[in-house]
Amino acid sequence: MITDTHAHLYYPELKTNLSEILLRAEDEGIERIIVPAVDLNTSREVIDMSEKNDMIYCALGVHPCDVKDNKLSVFDELEKLLGHEKVVAIGETGLDYYWDKTNSEDQKEFFRKQIDIAKSYKLPIVIHTRDSIDDAVNIIKENYDEDLSGQFHCFSGDERQLNQILELDNFYVSYCGNITYKNYAGTEVILRTPVDRLLSETDSPFLPPVPYRGKKNEPSYIVNTLKKISEIKNMEYDVLLKNVSQNCEKLFWDNIIK
Ligand SMILES: [Zn+2]
Ligand SMILES: [Zn+2]
C-alpha cells in the first residue's frame, strides 16, 4: 500500500483528467493521496475533492509563496475547515527564499502561526523549504514539543541539515522525482536517511521522475521515485515500501482523534 503524501491535484492540468489519474494511481498500488492546499480557496477545493474521492485526503494551509496575497486573519476561516474528517495535516507551509526573500519576516509569521494551529489541533505540518532549510529548522526547534510532528517535503538539504531534522522526534523527510535525474547531487543524503524517517511523495504536477521528464507529474509515477530510493539504499523494494507505508500511517493517520 502506497501513499502519495503530496500531490496538487487541483491544478488545472491534473484536475481536468482527475478520474484517469486516480485510476492509474490505483493500478500502481496507491491507496491514498494527500492533496496540500496553498491558500483558503484551494483548502475549500481540496475538501470538496476529498468528499468526492475516497482516496483523497487534505492538508490545509497557506504556502509561503502565497503569504504575500494573504493576511493572518485568513486562519479564522481556515480553522473552521479543520474539523473535517479527511483533514490529516496543516500545510503546505514553510519558507521559500528562492522566489521571494523580501517578505521573509511575513513568511516566518505565517509559518509560526501554522505551527501553533498544528499543535492545538494535534495535526502534523507539511513543510516547504527552498533556500530556507536552516531558518525553517530553527523555527521548528524554537516551537518544538511532543505535540509537534511533520514532514520536510521535497527535501533538498545536505547531511548536516538532515541530521538536525533527525534530532527532532516525529519529523520525516521525503524526496521527489528529481532524485532520478542524472545531475542529482543528493544521493549520499538519501543513503543517510534512515528508512524509519522517510515518506513517499510526488509533488505532482512538478518534478516528474525519469522516464516522464517533460510531462506533468502524477501520483502513479511515485513508483519510479521509490524504486530509485530502493536502488540507492540497496534495499529490496518491498521492504522499502513496507517501512515507508508504516511511516505515512504513523505520521498522518495514527494520531488523529476525531
Ligand atoms: Zn512545496
Ligand atoms: Zn507542494
The number of the ligand nearest the C-alpha atom of 5 reads 2
Query: Which grid cell sits at 193?
Result: 536517511
Domain boundaries, the chain: 2-254
The model's pLDDT over 176-212, given as tens digits with 9 standing for 90+, comes to: 999 999 999 999 999 999 999 999 999 999 999 999 9
All residues at 6 or more sequence positions from 98 whose CB lies less than 8 Å from its CB, including other chains: 130, 131, 132
Q: What is 2-254's CATH topology?
A: TIM Barrel (3.20.20)
What pLDDT band is residue 255 in, cutting at 50, 70 and 90? low
Q: Tell which residue, 153, 253, 237, has the closest CA to residue 199.
A: 153
Grid coordinates 493500478 are at which residue? 27
pLDDT at position 1: 87
Query: Which grid cell sits at 97?
Result: 527564499
pLDDT at position 202: 98
The model's pLDDT over 11-63, given as tens digits with 9 standing for 90+, comes to: 999 999 999 999 999 999 999 999 999 999 999 999 999 999 999 999 999 99
Ligand 1 center from residue 44 Cα (angstroms): 19
Please tell me the pTM assigned to this model.
0.97
Label the pairing between strands 2-4 and 56-60: unpaired
Ligand 1 center from residue 125 Cα (angstroms): 12
pLDDT above 70 coverage of the chain, percent:
98
Ligand 2 center from residue 203 Cα (angstroms): 5
Ligand 2 center from residue 93 Cα (angstroms): 9
